[in-house]
Structure formats: structure tokens, C-alpha cells
Amino acid sequence: MVFDSMKNEYSSIKRVEVRVQDLKIGMYVAQLDKPWESSSFLFQGFPIESEEQIDQLKRECRSVFVELKSNELNESKLITTESDDEDLRSVRRNRRTVKREARPRTLSNALPSALAAFKRTQKELQTIHKQALQNKKVDVHELQLTVNDMLVSMQNNPEALLLLKNLKDAENYTTEHQLRVSILCIGFGLFLGMSQEQIRTLGLAALLYDIGKARMPSIVLNKPTKINRQEALLLKNHPEESFRILSKVDNLSEVVKEVALSHHERVDGKGYPRHIHKDRVSRSAKIVSIIDAYDAITSDRSYSKARTTSHAVGVLIKNAGMKFDEFLVEQFVKWLTPTPIGSLVEMYSGEIAIVLGCDSGKPEQPKLLYVTDKLGNAGTQRIVDLAIEIDHQNADQYRIREVLVDGDRGIFVKKYLDKDAVGVSIWNKNAKSSPFQDFL
């Protein structure tokens, strides 16, 4: 498999606490013994490349956390290993946490609060882009709160936000693209086992990494044809512009700034703007880079139509190890599944359906909302759990033929995001009683 060469390397990495006097060139500093904001270091997470960096760490810290492969661990030099030390885990658990309900909420119950978080984040993003456009100092406080709301929603029921990210509007591509990337980053971060603090930072970074585009000419951003070389060079300034904007924000995580600056760097060192080695690019920036590309490919843009999820996955795999981190691509594809939530699919029966989630643990047999009959006629439809129906007679009609692009056959997923559609087994799409009408 294309990813096998990287798998063991990543899976054996541990974060350990090391005294500053035991640091060596080549180690990767992942965390200090104090907040990054109170240090002189620009980025949260960096490889040690010189004795000067070690001297600076000695002046500012007593110990730091570094990431080491299992065969590099030297117990005589370590204070503790993060994955094995219960006291350290307790400290992390006692930091700011999200409130997760004891029992997962059903999709129909989770959608209203998920939609509220979605809309608040959408509104705050538009406000921040206006501030950036007007050369004002951006205020991200409310955005930080909405990221936490989205994390709560994702933990209580991940299907709700993943379904709602299909509320797409090509006219507001930049801000809505960032919102979709943030939702996917939060879900993927949970899958990777990242801490809540790390996920909140990742989600915020995903909302802000393209803020510099607010100061790019709209005639170039929205050009309906392929941009020329001069325009491409102009757009390549947006990571540095994003970094400049975010550098003026008080008490903002260095990770958020680094993601803005580094999300177009490549693992082969041929990215921009700094053309740096992959070891100097944070994990968060690598994640955003992957999901940025995935969502761009699967969304309508001014100069190109959306492609299928399978096409996007193929692009990621083809470029793994060159543009994108190989292991993270593998994990993202694994998390995404062949039929992502919110996908439009065609059945072997000829019917069209929307993927609502998977209750069975079998991603190839999801729960579907059928939106047409076998002749393609829309109307009163039903919800079908393939994991149940696949074992019955005529099972072939309950098999997915292919994943479509949103808008194929004139069907747009956002038109079906209605509480009644996911809360009852039979639904008339023309019903006027849905409380979602005020939001949609």
C-alpha cells in the first residue's frame, strides 16, 4: 500500500518531557513548560536546528515536550512520557473542556443546535472578513466561542454538522469554504485523537488561514476563467497577508498564525511562500492543507465545477508524499469513508439518496434519505438503513451504484436539510411546518 512506508514511523511517535539540558539538534519541540504566548518563539512546534535554539530554550524553560520515535526513547533522559503518565493526563483533562452529553443525541435532535452553531460561525466569519477588507484589526473572540460550539456539536452527534456543511453558496465561496474546512478539521481531529484544546486551535486556524484573501482583488478571486501567471503570483501573497493580519490579534495561538503562513507548503519542500522542509511545517498546517484541497475539489468555484469525492480522494492519494503528508492522507481517507455524510448517491434501483450517517459501523452500508423514486421523480420519500435492508430479499436494489456530485440530476442536498427529513421515516418535502424554514 502507498502509505505503508510511513505508517509505522508515525504510529510509534510519542510525546515526552525532556529537561532542556538534555536537548539535542534534530529533536522536535512540540510544547513548552509554559504558554507559548509568554515565550519568544514565533511558532508552536519546531525542530531544533541549532545550538542557539537550545540556548534560547535553556534561558526560557526548565523542560519541554518533544516528539520522539519509540526507538529513540532514552528513559534516563526523560522526565515523563505523555502517553504513559496518568498525572499528566489528569492535568490535561482538567484544562478547559467541552460539555459532552452522556448519551449521543439523535440526528433530528442534534440538527437545531448544530445549525445554530453553523449560522453563528458563518456570521462571525463574514464580519471578520469585512474587518480585514477595511484594514481594521480583526476580533476573533466570538469566533473562538463558535468553534467551541461546533466541537460540542461534533462530539454529541458528528453527523449533524457534517450534513450541514452542504449548505453551500458559490457566491460566498471563500468564507463558506473556510467554514467547511473547519468542520472537517474538527471531525478529523477527533478521529486522530487530538486533545480538545488542540482541536479548538485547529478549528480556529481552519477558519482564519485564508483571511488574507479578503485583501485580494475580487476580480481575480472570482474570475470565471483560469487565472494568468501574474494573477497567480498575486494570489500567492495571501498566506503572508493572512499572517500579517493575524499577527496583530492579541493572545492568538501561534499555531493559528503558522497555519495561515504554511498551509501551502509541501512535504517535498516545493510549496510557498517559504519553500520549507516538511519538518518545519506543523501537523495542523498539514491537516488544513489536505482538507483545503479536498473541499475545493468537491465544491463549485468560479472557474470550475465540483468533482466527486472519489476524484478528490484520488488527487490526495496521487499527491501523498509530494504535496501532502502521506500518513495524514491515509488517515483522512479512512475517516472520510467511501460515502461521506451528506453525499448524494445513486442506487442500483435508479433512486437517488442522501447519506445521513452510519449506525451499523459499516460505512459501506449507511443510513440514507431517498429523495427520488426509480424514475427520478421527487416526492414523498423514506429513510432506509442499508445495514438492515441489505440482508433482505432484493438486496441488489439497496446497493449504492456511485457517489454523485451535489447538483447532479438537478438535486441539491441543501434543499433537503429539513428537520422533518431526518426525524421521521416518511417525509413530504413540500411540508411547510418545519422549524428549519426560518433558518434555511
Domain ranges of the chain: 12-93, 107-336, 344-438
Tens-digit pLDDT profile for residues 391-415: 555 666 788 899 999 888 888 888 8
pLDDT interval class at 44 (50, 70, 90): low
Alpha helices in 1-50 (DSSP H): 4-11
| pTM, entire model | 0.74
Rounded Cα distance, 153 and 161, in Å: 7
CATH fold for the domain made of 107-336: Hypothetical protein af1432 (1.10.3210)
What pLDDT digit, counting tens, does each position of 104-124 carry? Answer: 567 777 888 888 899 999 999
Can you name the residues that pair with 32 across neighbouring β-strands?
A: 64
Taking residues 309-326, report their average pLDDT: 95
* C-beta separation of 421 from 369 below 8 A: yes
User: Crossing angle of helices 173-192/283-297, nearest 10°?
Assistant: 130
Close Cβ partners of 255 (under 8 Å, ≥ 6 residues apart) = 43, 44, 45, 201, 202, 205, 282, 284
- Dump pLDDT digits (tens) for 265-290: 999 999 999 998 888 899 999 999 99
